[in-house]
Structure 1
Amino acid sequence: MKIEFMHVSKEFAVRGASFTALSDISLTVGEGEFLTLVGPSGCGKSTLLDLLTGLTAPTRGEIRVDGAPVEGPGLDRGIVFQQYALFPWRTAVANVEFGLEAKAVPRQERRDLARHYLDLVGLRGFDDRHPHELSDGMRQRVAIARSLAYDPAVLLMDEPFAALDAQTRESLQEELLQIWAKTGKTVVFLTHGIDEAVYLGQRVAVMTPSPGRIREIIAIDFDSREGDPRADPRFGEYRHAIWTLLREEAIPVA
């Protein structure tokens, strides 16, 4: 599905004053595109995602998904948070079934689909484990499987790998790209990490400090995604270009 932000601003009332979190965001994400957003803490990345999920409404402007205005949450958009938000009393497979229950999928079909998506994220054989019996990386895999299972057209990811160790994070990044290639979903991925943004995204949207705006969008073009793109000389060039943009925004103009 195509996503459009059309001159979107978001303001909050804070102690009787108005605080602008996002200012005049115009952004289009193509159908099937993997877009990463990178910016400093407090730039409004999570607010932007809240608006896209429909959990809150913009103060000005409009957001459209597949041409229709976003007026609230919908099953066309799945979200994965930094914290796993799994139900501790449910097994891995039962956690994945949760969204399917909301769609009234029959019990056996629900179980088969949940197991399929656990296999897809590399958790075959862990169906009956509870969250406390899984590592952090495994819990995040369950959260991703749960978001994929009810087949949303758009996958929204709010720094999902930030709390993981480096090895697990890189493993899940690679897994996510494989899942994206298989499913063709539109992905919007928020991150603080420049390397992560370049590695995952077809385009990287660089945000400014508060109030959040889109400073620049950089297209990422490697010869091939086979092997490790970090070995491509252009990886360093993209990384430096984004770092420079963020650094320039952080330095106040005299």
Structure 2
Amino acid sequence: MPSATPKIRFEHVGKTFPLRTPRTARAAPERFTALQDIDLDIAPGEFSVIVGPSGCGKSTLLDLLGGLTHPTRGRVLLDGAPVTGPGRDRGTVFQSYALLPWRTARGNVEFGLEAGGTPRRERAEKAAEYLSLVGLDGFADRHPHELSGGMRQRVALARSLAYDPDVLLMDEPFAALDAQTRESLQEELLGVWRRTGKTVVFITHSIDEAVLLGERVTVLTSRPGRVKERVTVDLGERAPSDDPRSSPEFAAYRHRVRELLHGEVSRAQELERSALRGKETAA
């Protein structure tokens, strides 16, 4: 159940970006509103998934939490303190693995620890521990080009976990993987989350992935992104061999999230068509 004190809080958060330089010095630049009036609490240890149509600001939300950009209005709080920049209390896993090609799997996991001044022996121990945690025993000396896509993503996950962040931020980390590898890593991630108790914020386009992974699924509206609804998911206890995707509970949650998204996707597509017509008219 959610804690009375949230781990993460978005308070009336809005984010706009300038579109282009004004033609005259007096003219204000046009602005693009990515997020508008976001209010969102995430409990300690929660696996929170965010879904929404393309362009609704999902990745921007994650960038705000990661401290890579700042809200235009409102504030983002972590443990009650405003997020003012990146920090070692947050680890990020991207869709692109962002591994250093000249380093081995072990070397990539050790990279963040080196930057933090961790002694060499401790770095080696932690790298071995977290590579084992993500199922890569025996692959520590392989370079990224010697690993499959799923293995590279496991290395990226181990690297983020190794310096023990409180919060794990994941921006569509499995989107580029084949279906079988994706399912395997979903189960692996759930296992890591249960063992470590990390707070996870996970972005995805997949409704099935959202329902499978998330304790709570936040559905954003089409641009500008706002919180449309939060769906609490409870698939019950299950044995490792059970597939919850075949259960009636899973089907019901999947239908609910899809229903919430359907109108927003249609609106997003209409916005894109309107923008295209505007460009054609201007041309």
TM-score for both structures, normalised by structure 2: 0.88
Determine helix, strand or coil for the equivalent of 1:170: helix
1:232 aligned to 2:247?
yes
Question: 2:67 is matched with which residue?
Answer: 54
Deviation at 1:102, TM superposition (A): 1.8
The partner residue of 2:157 within 137, 144, 151 is 144
Question: 1:90 is matched with which residue?
Answer: 103
Structure 1 counterpart of 2:166, one-letter code: A
1:169 aligned to 2:174?
no
Rounded to whole Å, the distance in 2 between the matches of 1:105 and 1:208 is: 43
Higher-Rg member (1/2):
2
Rounded to whole Å, the distance in 1 between the matches of 2:229 and 2:114 is: 41
The partner residue of 2:15 within 10, 18, 21 is 10
Deviation at 1:154, TM superposition (A): 0.1
Deviation at 1:183, TM superposition (A): 0.2
Contact 2:53 2:264 in 1 (8 A): no
Determine helix, strand or coil for the equivalent of 2:38: strand
Determine helix, strand or coil for the equivalent of 1:51: helix
Deviation at 1:196, TM superposition (A): 0.1
Deviation at 1:14, TM superposition (A): 0.1
Question: 2:90 is matched with which residue?
Answer: 77
Rounded to whole Å, the distance in 2 between the matches of 1:6 and 1:97 is: 35
Question: 1:113 is matched with which residue?
Answer: 126
% same residue: 67
Deviation at 1:103, TM superposition (A): 1.7
Cα distance per residue 1:151-198 (max 9 Å; x no partner): 000000000000000000000000000000000000000000000000
Rounded to whole Å, the distance in 2 between the matches of 1:214 and 1:168 is: 31
Task: Extract unaligned runs of 5+ from structure 2.
Answer: 1-5, 21-28, 268-283
Rounded to whole Å, the distance in 2 between the matches of 1:132 and 1:40 is: 33
Deviates more, 1:219-228 or 1:237-246: 219-228
Rounded to whole Å, the distance in 2 between the matches of 1:2 and 1:244 is: 29
Query: Across the two proteins, how many residue pairs are aligned to each other?
Result: 252
1:241 aligned to 2:246?
no
Rounded to whole Å, the distance in 1 between the matches of 2:111 and 2:165 is: 14
Rounded to whole Å, the distance in 1 between the matches of 2:86 and 2:238 is: 33
The partner residue of 2:148 within 117, 128, 135 is 135
1:20 aligned to 2:33?
yes
Determine helix, strand or coil for the equivalent of 1:40: coil
Structure 2 counterpart of 1:197, one-letter code: A
Contact 2:76 2:83 in 1 (8 A): yes
1:126 aligned to 2:139?
yes
Structure 2 counterpart of 1:241, one-letter code: R
TM-score for both structures, normalised by structure 1: 0.97
Determine helix, strand or coil for the equivalent of 2:170: strand
Determine helix, strand or coil for the equivalent of 1:85: coil
Runs of 4+ in structure 1 deviating by more than 4 angstroms, as ranges, are: none
Question: 2:200 is matched with which residue?
Answer: 187
Deviation at 1:141, TM superposition (A): 0.3
Task: Extract unaligned runs of 5+ from structure 1.
Answer: none
1:33 aligned to 2:46?
yes
